[in-house]
Chains A and B, each alone.
Chain A
Amino acid sequence: MPTTSAPDEHLRLEGIGVSFGAVNVIPSLDLSVRKGEMVAFLGPSGCGKTTTLRIIAGLNKPSRGSIMVGGRDITHLPIHDRDMGMVFQSYALFPHMDVSHNVQFGLQMRNVPAREAEKRAAQALEMVQLGHLAHRKPKELSGGQQQRVALARALVIEPSILLLDEPLSNLDAKLRDEMRVQIRALQQQSGITAVFVTHDQVEALSMCDRVVVMRGGHVEQFGTPTEVYERPATAFVANFVGRTNRLKGALTAEGILTGAGQQLRSATRLPAGAVDILVRPHRIRLQETGEADNKVQGTVSTITFIGDLVQYGVSVGGEEIVVEEATRRGRSPLAAGDSVTLGWSAEDTLIYPAGEK
């Protein structure tokens, strides 16, 4: 992990570690976030992403390491002096205050005069299209509306960093899509630095400038969504971000040999030895007629219609390869038992030393 600080660096974690007794939940974490960018912490539950976010907010104390914001060490600053805007998974709106007073709370804590606080809260609510609900109680609002109030409450104090802890996980699918776009738009308008915790790769890839893929308390990869998706640093990242086929094989001087005996080509360079071969299902063509770096014969064994796409299970020399194709009207679908020629490029053939999970 590079530790040289970028000139526009805003948030920096240095050797952050968390231990409970003898258990190292987070061994040592280094991270640098640029001003105005939105970074996702992506990983399965228990990977330490929420803990790291809470450490930045001050809600959890790290066992070691330091947190810098704008060049200033805030590791030992109490929560209320940190100037962070946080959106909680449960929204955490104050049930005894109306929407407007929820939003005004942070301003009151900053001793903003009552009239101005009211005005700024109204503007913030206008920004999330909730101006008309200012005098409702939180429990009278829908989940999506509560979520937007929480966002307005966090943004109205113009915090130095916006922290979002799985803010979309309690919303239904359609609303989640809308809120993704809205949160990203608000973040870009205000130019605020934001950290977004999620276990959903779609949220991470679509909303954020860069993605930190975490596992077991350490960073697997830190890169742009394209980098993380196209050039996963580890087999774990490839598996977690997007879907993959995984084949066993061996890398020799002649090339890659699969367990079933096919010869494959990859653009990745690795020392010779046992390897895992990963190919994304939608990067494989089902009926390859032209030239392809990798071409294998197989038989369709299962067909699953998902709506946007059709998933084919193709058995190739005893192994099952999943291929996904976008559905198109007027195209006769394949049937189970049809023989097919699969084809994909060397660039789409990712290889990792065997045994990496």
Chain B
Amino acid sequence: MEIHKTSWPMRILVFVLFVYLLAPVILVFPLSFSGDQVLRFPPSFWSTRWYSALFANSQMLKAFWTSLSLAAIVTVLSIVIAVPAAWVMTRLKFTGRDLLFNLFTAPLLLPTIVLGLAILIVFASFGLLATMQGLVFAHLVVTLPYALRVLAVSLSTQDRACEEAARTLGAKPLTVFFRVTVPMLTPGIVAAAALCFLVSFDEVVITLFLTGPRISTLPVELYNYVYNQADPLVAAASALLILLTLAVIMIVERAMGLGKAFVK
């Protein structure tokens, strides 16, 4: 093992970068315990009143549950669709495969505002605006490319010999898929699921076009809230969201090690 001595200028540079990246995230926590009527740093006195206000806000709570169930449904659907799709993309050879793959992952490159408008126009004619189904479909457009990318990478680096070994041992193609390919893909599936969950839970731009008084998600509700007033309730909500994100990441980390799930 070689131990690198990092030079002092380098350490300072890294420290400054970290502060720059993390300061807004960290600042949210003291702000959320502010006792003031408006967002101000540093707060003039401390209290937990904005947490109480948040949990008393039925609209926020409702939006939170909508976001949570929406993200869960979108995550499950993304994986169920993307695993077979990624398998086809990496295991079968057919003309136009690369084209199809690029087409499927293209939404990653499109500005979300364009996507949002397009979805609004199409969904309006199907009566999907401000419905759970509409939100699920819209979020799938954004999460599927992520899931497909992550799973395709995992599948293409997977040792094909294991599938071949299973075939020679007498397993039919579908058996090979469920007993060898999918179990070996578990780290990729967990990573893709975590990514889909966070992307869906976090989505604002497209969702803005599709929500209304009947149904709304937490990020959209927070956006609307900030638009009208500037009290530290949003800081309390943000602090809880950061903790939720950390929890998801830690579950992935516990399940298989972060490095293994995301970097492969």
Contact surface of A with B, Cβ cutoff 8 Å: 57-59, 79-86, 88-90, 92-96, 105-106, 109-110, 153, 157, 163
Smallest beta-carbon distance B33→chain A, Å: 46
Smallest beta-carbon distance A25→chain B, Å: 17
For the complex, give the distance between the alpha carbons of A153 and B172 in Å.
17
Question: B138-171 CB contact bits vs A (8 Å, 1 = yes)?
Answer: 0000000000000000000001011011111111
For the complex, give the distance between the alpha carbons of A95 and B159 in Å.
10
Selected contact of B164 from candidates A81, A88, A105, A110, CB within 8 Å: A88
Contacts A/B (CB < 8 Å), 6 sampled: A81-B170, A95-B162, A96-B184, A109-B171, A153-B169, A157-B170
- Is B47 at the interface (CB under 8 A from chain A)? no
Beta-carbon contact of A85 and B168 below 8 Å: yes
Contact surface of B with A, Cβ cutoff 8 Å: 159, 161-162, 164-172, 175, 179-180, 183-184, 186
Selected contact of A86 from candidates B165, B179, B184, B186, CB within 8 Å: B165
For the complex, give the distance between the alpha carbons of A21 and B177 in Å.
31
Contacts of B168 in A (CB 8 A): 57-59, 79-80, 82, 84-86, 163
Beta-carbon contact of A94 and B161 below 8 Å: no
Beta-carbon contact of A110 and B186 below 8 Å: no
Selected contact of A88 from candidates B165, B170, B172, B186, CB within 8 Å: B165
Smallest beta-carbon distance A187→chain B, Å: 17
Q: Which residue of chain B has its CB nearest to the CB of A106?
A: B169
Contacts of B171 in A (CB 8 A): 80, 105, 109
Beta-carbon contact of B167 and A59 below 8 Å: yes
Beta-carbon contact of B164 and A96 below 8 Å: no
Q: Which residue of chain B has its CB nearest to the CB of A89?
A: B161
Beta-carbon contact of A92 and B175 below 8 Å: no
Given contacts A90-B159, A106-B170, A110-B170, contact A96 B186 (CB under 8 A): yes
For the complex, give the distance between the alpha carbons of A93 and B186 in Å.
16
* Known contacts A83-B170, A86-B165, A105-B179, then 17 further A-B pairs from the complex at CB < 8 Å, ordered by chain A residue: A79-B164, A80-B167, A80-B170, A80-B171, A81-B170, A82-B168, A84-B168, A86-B164, A86-B168, A88-B165, A89-B161, A93-B162, A93-B165, A94-B165, A94-B184, A96-B183, A105-B166
For the complex, give the distance between the alpha carbons of A42 and B186 in Å.
39
Contacts of A153 in B (CB 8 A): 165, 169
For the complex, give the distance between the alpha carbons of A92 and B180 in Å.
11
For the complex, give the distance between the alpha carbons of A105 and B162 in Å.
12
Contacts of A57 in B (CB 8 A): 164, 168
Beta-carbon contact of A92 and B164 below 8 Å: yes
Tally A-B pairs: CB < 8 A. Answer: 65
Contacts of B167 in A (CB 8 A): 58-59, 79-80
Beta-carbon contact of A105 and B169 below 8 Å: yes
Contacts of A84 in B (CB 8 A): 168
Smallest beta-carbon distance B131→chain A, Å: 40
Chain B interface, >50% SS class: helix
Contacts of B175 in A (CB 8 A): 109
Smallest beta-carbon distance B49→chain A, Å: 51
Q: Which residue of chain A has its CB nearest to the CB of B163?
A: A92
Beta-carbon contact of A92 and B165 below 8 Å: yes
For the complex, give the distance between the alpha carbons of A95 and B164 in Å.
14
Selected contact of A109 from candidates B161, B162, B169, CB within 8 Å: B169
Q: Which of A59, A85, A92 counts the most chain B CB atoms within 10 A?
A: A92
Q: Which residue of chain A has its CB nearest to the CB of B176?
A: A80
Q: Which residue of chain A has its CB nearest to the CB of B171?
A: A109
For the complex, give the distance between the alpha carbons of A92 and B162 in Å.
5
For the complex, give the distance between the alpha carbons of A74 and B175 in Å.
22
Contacts of A86 in B (CB 8 A): 164-165, 168
Smallest beta-carbon distance A169→chain B, Å: 14
Smallest beta-carbon distance A332→chain B, Å: 49
Q: Which residue of chain B has its CB nearest to the CB of A157?
A: B169
For the complex, give the distance between the alpha carbons of A105 and B169 in Å.
7
Contacts of A81 in B (CB 8 A): 170
Contacts of A80 in B (CB 8 A): 167-172
Q: Which of B168, B172, B186 counts the most chain A CB atoms within 10 A?
A: B168
Selected contact of B184 from candidates A88, A95, A109, A110, CB within 8 Å: A95
Contacts of B161 in A (CB 8 A): 88-90, 92
For the complex, give the distance between the alpha carbons of A90 and B224 in Å.
57
Given contacts A80-B170, A110-B170, contact A59 B162 (CB under 8 A): no
Beta-carbon contact of A109 and B170 below 8 Å: yes
Smallest beta-carbon distance B181→chain A, Å: 11
Contacts of A58 in B (CB 8 A): 167-168
Q: Which residue of chain A has its CB nearest to the CB of B167?
A: A79
Contacts of B165 in A (CB 8 A): 86, 88, 92-94, 153
For the complex, give the distance between the alpha carbons of A106 and B164 in Å.
12
Smallest beta-carbon distance A87→chain B, Å: 9
Q: Which of A88, A94, A153, A157 counts the most chain B CB atoms within 10 A?
A: A94
Smallest beta-carbon distance A55→chain B, Å: 13
For the complex, give the distance between the alpha carbons of A82 and B165 in Å.
13
Smallest beta-carbon distance B109→chain A, Å: 35
Q: Which residue of chain A has its CB nearest to the CB of B166?
A: A105
Q: Which residue of chain B has its CB nearest to the CB of A83?
A: B170
For the complex, give the distance between the alpha carbons of A79 and B168 in Å.
6
For the complex, give the distance between the alpha carbons of A83 and B168 in Å.
7
Smallest beta-carbon distance B184→chain A, Å: 6
Smallest beta-carbon distance A246→chain B, Å: 39
Beta-carbon contact of A59 and B164 below 8 Å: yes
Smallest beta-carbon distance A316→chain B, Å: 50
Contacts of B166 in A (CB 8 A): 94, 105
